[in-house]
């Protein structure tokens, strides 16, 4: 039994010595390194890519087109287009909104009207 007590005392003493007793080491600062910009490699086309053409400089950027139907065709005309879209679209959330491009609104009208078969009568808004 004395050996067990001696062993437990030794384990306790070593545990306490390992947990504390010495001053915490101060962190040392890493030497400051200056960030050197690395140039990206030039873009390379794969050998099997089809020939590419440069865009002409006089082409207007896409942002020059009207952002929505109201800007494109005006308040009254866009309201008529939206009303036609709402009248024919079976979608629960159709894109019938003057803030969408006119092409999108007209596309929904065309899609909805295209769902009618030959023998079915289409709404009058499909013929407008």
DSSP-assigned letter for residue 62: G
Q: Which of 32-41, 54-63, 73-82 has the lowest mean pLDDT?
A: 54-63
Average pLDDT over every residue of 26-52: 69
Write down the pLDDT at residue 49.
77
- Give me the chain's average pLDDT, please: 78
In a domain, 112, yes or no: yes
In a domain, 21, yes or no: no
Write down the pLDDT at residue 43.
74
**Contact assessment for residue 104 and residue 95, using Cβ atoms and an 8 Å cutoff:** yes
Q: Which residue has the higher pLDDT, 19 or 92?
A: 92
Please report where in the chains the tokens 């407008």 appear, as a residue.
Answer: 128
Give percent of the chain with pLDDT exceeding 90: 39
Q: Write out the H or E segment, with its range, that includes residue 99.
A: none
B/e letters for 44-60, b = 16+ CB within 10 Å, e = fewer, are: eeeeeeeeeeeeeeeee
Write down the pLDDT at residue 64.
59
87 CB-near residues (< 8 Å, 6+ apart): 123, 125
Q: Which residue has the higher pLDDT, 51 or 28?
A: 51
Q: Is 1's pLDDT higher than 70? A: no
Neighbours of 100 (CB within 10 A): 20
In a domain, 111, yes or no: yes
Write down the pLDDT at residue 107.
95
User: How many domains, in total, are found in the chain?
Assistant: 1
In a domain, 80, yes or no: yes
Instruction: Look up the domain containing 83 and give its range.
Output: 65-127
């Amino acid at each position: 039994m004395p050996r067990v007590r001696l062993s437990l005392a030794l384990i306790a003493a070593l545990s306490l010595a390992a947990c504390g007793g010495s001053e915490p080491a101060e962190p040392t600062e890493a030497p400051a390194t200056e960030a050197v910009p690395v140039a990206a490699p030039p873009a390379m086309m794969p050998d099997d890519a089809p020939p590419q053409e440069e865009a002409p400089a006089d082409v207007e950027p896409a942002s020059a087109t009207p952002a929505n139907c109201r800007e494109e065709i005006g308040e009254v005309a866009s309201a008529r287009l939206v009303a036609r879209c709402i009248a024919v679209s079976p979608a629960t959330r159709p894109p019938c909104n003057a803030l969408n491009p006119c092409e999108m609104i007209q596309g929904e009208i065309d899609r909805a009207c295209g769902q009618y078969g030959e023998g079915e009568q289409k709404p009058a808004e499909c013929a407008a």
